Chains A and B, each alone.
Chain A
Amino acid sequence: MTSADRTSRRVSGAVSALWSAPTRRATGNALAAMLVAAVGGILLGGLALIWGAALVSLIHWPVGGWAHAVLYIAVVLAGPVLALWAVQGLTALQRSRLRATLGLEIPALPGGAERGPWPVGPWLTAATWRQLGFHLLAILTGVIGGGLVAVCWLAPVVAIAYLAVGRPHAAAGAIAVAAAAVLLLAAPWLARQVTRADAASARTLLGPGRSEALAQRVESLARSRADIVAAADAERRRIERDLHDGAQQRLVSLAMNLGMARERFADAPEPVRRAIADAHDEAVLALSELREFIRGLHPAVLNDRGLDAALSGLVARAPLPVKLRVDVERPASPSVEAVAYFIVSEALTNVAKHAQATRAEVTVTRDGDMLRVAVTDDGSGGAAPTDGDDAGAGTGLRGLAQRAAAVDGTLTIDSPPGGPTVIAAELPCES
């Protein structure tokens, strides 16, 4: 391919680009951006001018007496408020402009990004200053860029007018025509560049910044995790209810029938009596195992009567003396209370199994938005969370830490060799 070929191809490409859809869109955007930027420039510039003038007048003490002084002070004070409105209004305008001309949706700022005590608060956020930066930049890039795009497109008209009205020399005319052609062919490229810069700066300056995007992400993650925890809780409750209404009642009925059979056939031959008695014992055992299992799944009393009642039942069933103190004025959410319950339950199981303790103490207190749970025992100490599958104390403790973490809580274990052991959890409760 010769260089002439390449040039001609480039020229034909540039010519065909002249009326392509991207070109039309980019040009439309550049011109719209210029218009909006001009409005913004006039607005912000005007405000700055008036505010600056008022400030300077105030510093040089007004000659016009008190009335002027009051006016200047009012303007100086109102300036930031008006500027804030202008910035936010212009941002809304630019967003809808980008949506209309480019179909570009700028992600909304996360709630709180611009908040704070009005009107000072918003000025203390990065988001507001970024927006102001965009509008100032738009005056430069928007007006100049848009202007250049307009000039490029209008170059042929200007050239024709020059040829028609100015009647120049052939050389000058040729130069004018050539220049107009070059500018015209450059117009699509320039329009696209201006639009690209416009979109990029809008994304960076009008959309959420990195920290705001992260904050947004954290917020949505926290929300979805809370949903998952609540869903798991609800599921446990549903299973508990199903078992209670189904299998458990059926098993009670079975055990009762076997019990009645056992009474009624007391005179039956030994093998029959043996078989009935064994079946009866098995049914009773299965019943009590199922009861323990269901209680471990979700204690119904927690829903009905709250944490205090559920814990006092738990403490009562512990195989060692446990002192219980619950001081919770406002109940926490069901998820948090369930976590607190299971932490105490698991901790007491650990104490009974591993600590060789003679007594334990459970305290639950609500401190503002924090639910504090502490389980203390006078055992041998040395408890520590471990990884792994062995069913020792360590895995149970790790499970406790995970349960606490699921509601943004923390679990600390203080268990020096020789004891005493303190397992403490702090669970934030949404107020």
Chain B
Amino acid sequence: MRIVIAEDSVLLRDGLTRMLTDGGFEIVAAVPDAEQLLKAVAVHQPDLAVIDVRMPPTHTDEGIRAALVIRRQYPDVALLVLSQYVEESYATDLLSAATSSVGYLLKDRIAHVADFLEAVRRVAAGGTALDPEVVAQLLVRRRDDPMSRLTPRELQVLRLMAEGRSNNGIVEMLKVSPSAVEKYVTNIFAKLDLPPTGTDHRRVLAVLKYLGT
């Protein structure tokens, strides 16, 4: 799998390159800013771009803006955005443009190598990887709305779903039976007025769409 990395810190750029290479990915370019990121994506047409939010020249939200441009111009490139902070406003921007093949994680998560590599694979495969903090913030934003109808347990399940976990993953996390999770999920969709659809993946996307708008 071919990956482009955009990260202004040399230390982290090299570290990420090493870790992802060790993890079996091919790094086709590692660049320090958004402008070079867009060029690299155009040249290499990678499967995934790992993007730092805060990069030169303004050190604000270059990464998010670059991610939105990539999504518009190269919809096949999966996006994994990394940031020292998770901000609801960035997440909303990102998710309103993309609800699949997209991830938004705190940089802290890089430290948990196995989890991080798993997130990279999930995003590249068309899934999502949202930081628990992002999900929490997005859910809070909606707490006045139909979200308030959910029970704490259903909310917990929804959070895990929004992070990109499958039903099996949720069963493992919560130590409950698969049928219980199935019931929670059905309840959630009923309460959020979302018609149940086929796969886990599509249900997650529906939830994300709901959260992101």
Contacts and interface: CB of A to CB of B under 8 A. Distances in A.
Interface of A: 241, 244-245, 248-250, 252-253, 255-260, 262-263, 280, 283-284, 287-288, 291, 294-295, 299-301, 303-305, 308-309, 312-313, 315-318, 321-323
A253 B12 contact: yes
Interface stretch (B27-35, B53-61, B198-206): B53-61
A287 B108 contact: yes
Contacts of A304: 60-61
Interface of B: 9, 11-12, 15-16, 18-19, 22, 54, 59-61, 84-90, 106-108, 110-114, 133, 136-138, 140-141, 143-144
20 contacts: A244-B54, A248-B84, A252-B15, A252-B110, A256-B111, A257-B15, A259-B110, A260-B18, A260-B19, A288-B108, A295-B85, A300-B54, A301-B85, A301-B87, A305-B89, A309-B89, A312-B137, A313-B88, A313-B137, A322-B140
Contacts of B60: 300, 303-304
A97 B79 CA distance: 76
Contacts of A323: 143-144
Contacts of B107: 252
Contacts of A245: 9
A248 B7 CA distance: 14
Given A284-B108, A288-B108, A312 B89 contact: yes
B112 A312 contact: no
A258 B112 CA distance: 9
A244 B19 contact: no
B141 A259 contact: no
B138 to A, nearest CB: 8
A253 B89 CA distance: 26
Given A256-B113, A300-B54, A305-B61, A249 B12 contact: yes
A261 to B, nearest CB: 9
A304 to B, nearest CB: 4
Nearest to B52: A249
B19 A315 contact: no
Contacts of A258: 111
A248 B86 CA distance: 15
A259 B112 contact: yes
B88 A309 contact: yes
Nearest to A250: B11
Contacts of A287: 108, 111
B140 A280 contact: no
Given A253-B11, A291-B108, A301-B87, A260 B113 contact: yes
Contacts of A317: 133, 136-137
Contacts of B112: 259, 284
A284 B137 CA distance: 21
Nearest to A290: B84
Contact of B111 (A241, A249, A284): A284
Contacts of B54: 244, 300
Contact of A321 (B59, B106, B138, B140): B140
A318 B143 CA distance: 13
A303 B58 CA distance: 11
A152 B55 CA distance: 83
Nearest to A264: B22
Contact of B15 (A241, A256, A284): A256
Given A249-B9, A316-B88, A321-B140, A259 B113 contact: yes
A301 B60 CA distance: 8
Contacts of B87: 301, 305, 309, 313
Given A252-B110, A288-B108, 8 more contacts: A244-B84, A248-B84, A249-B12, A252-B107, A253-B12, A258-B111, A263-B114, A284-B111
A305 B61 CA distance: 9
Contacts of A256: 12, 15-16, 19, 110-111, 113
Contacts of B86: 313
Closest 6 CB pairs of A and B: A316-B137, A309-B89, A255-B111, A304-B60, A249-B9, A316-B140
Nearest to A299: B85
B88 A312 contact: yes
B84 A253 contact: no
A188 B158 CA distance: 98
Nearest to A304: B60
B89 A280 contact: no
Contacts of A257: 15
Contacts of B12: 249, 252-253, 256
Contacts of A308: 89
A262 B113 contact: yes
Given A257-B15, A260-B22, A291 B111 contact: no
A305 B85 CA distance: 13
Nearest to A246: B9
B11 A321 contact: no
